[in-house]
Homo-oligomer: A and B are copies of this chain.
Amino acid sequence: MVKVAVMGHGVVGSGVVEVIMNHQEGIMKRSAAELDVKYILDIREFPDLPYSDKFTKNFDDILNDDEVKVVAEVMGGVHPAYDFTKACLEAGKSVVTSNKELVATKGAELLKIAKENNVNYLFEASVGGGIPIIRPIGLCLAANDVIEVAGILNGTTNFILTKMIREKMSFEDALKMAQQLGYAERNPAADVEGHDACRKICILASLCYGKHIYPELVHTKGITDITLSDVSYASAWGGVIKLIGQVKKLDDGTLDITVEPMLIEKSSQLANVDDVFNGILVRGDATGDVVFYGKGAGKLPTASAVVADIIDCVQHLKDRKFVFWEDGDESLVKPYGETVFPVYIRAECSDSKAAAAKAAELFADIKVIGRAQAPENELAFTCGAMTAAAQEKAVAELESSGVSVRSKIRISDL
């Protein structure tokens, strides 16, 4: 019988307790040990639950109980989750978490503390919910150099974009629907502005390349500016718009890492990842492209990933897993302005022929795209690969000729 504690009894935390209680047989079979939730930490009261006797408001109950070997931190946020995690690791307890914000901001430090104390800090649930991705990258792909990771990492924005693409719903209406269905928070900024996806690509990048990539180093753009016109041009071009978190290693050793909406060709494996689903593509030098697909969030999927980590810790109580990265700094990341990619541009102008001629002077290899019911004063085109800085300069020049650029969206090479 291994005693565990669950810190936080929100959506994921209550799911963790439920999954442990409903899967004792499977857990026994795979960890050769029964799991017993000894404490649940929450400031709220849950008097009516059958396991209400397990609740405590005092973190020290967990910290000072030597019987507790594994702690699940499912509180979210950086404080006090960071302080509690650090204290548990220093006390020789393994910690597992779904807290992507904490892993993305303090991962290197917490992994170092775990290593020094010969315990594990695992976070399978922090990316992709119930989709196994951290462990397959960390271990199964150990015999690969990871060339690129790219994914639809946020279910809320993918739901909104899917509604815009399939039902021609406006961004605002789709967001409202997502909120009504419980897919989006009342304050949706973390999702729609790309911060959630940014934390996840930072975790994947750190894991793949062995150094911590901090979210503030990553160019991050959300989907709030995407319009139905852009959706319609993307379709005419032969693709869809998706919010993509992407990292690839460049020849000079730096990383091209970004979170932004991208045009993706219909034939790409990520183009058909719709609704609240996530899809993550890992490109290895030996395996080629491997794609992981599933529900990226939700109570039970996320909880089952947390419990899988608990089981892994129980199997390795005297043994460390090889999940680790060192601290990192801004030298790892290619400045966004220097990264090179093709784009799609949509503009308003008084004379679309003249505007297209001007664009052809300023951008490489432009191709004008049409769409049904386009207003006369609209111009949309794709252009070949240029640095982001050169694109900005060309946009400024185009605008100084009287053309108003409304959208500029990266074209993915996936």
Contacts and interface: CB of A to CB of B under 8 A. Distances in A.
Interface of A: 15, 19-20, 23, 26-27, 29-32, 124, 129-132, 135-136, 138-145, 210, 269, 272, 284-295, 298, 300-301, 303-305, 307-308, 311-312, 315-316, 319, 322
Given A31-B322, A319-B319, A322-B30, A143 B304 contact: yes
10 contacts: A23-B144, A135-B140, A139-B311, A139-B312, A142-B311, A143-B307, A269-B272, A288-B295, A288-B301, A291-B292
Contacts of A142: 23, 26-27, 30-31, 307-308, 311
Contacts of A316: 319
A131 B140 CA distance: 8
Number of copies: 2
A29 B136 CA distance: 16
A39 B307 CA distance: 40
A291 B130 CA distance: 11
Contact of A288 (B19, B138, B294): B294
A290 B288 contact: no
Contacts of A131: 287, 290
B311 A286 contact: no
Contacts of A143: 19-20, 23, 26-27, 303-305, 307-308, 311
A26 B145 contact: yes
Contact of A301 (B26, B286, B315): B286
Given A23-B145, A30-B139, A294 B305 contact: no
Nearest to A304: B286
B141 A308 contact: yes
A31 to B, nearest CB: 7
A312 to B, nearest CB: 6
A139 B308 contact: yes
Contacts of A29: 210, 322
A64 B298 CA distance: 53
In this complex, the member of A143, A210, A294, A316 whose beta carbon has the largest number of chain B beta carbons within 10 angstroms is: A143
A84 B124 CA distance: 37
A322 B27 CA distance: 11
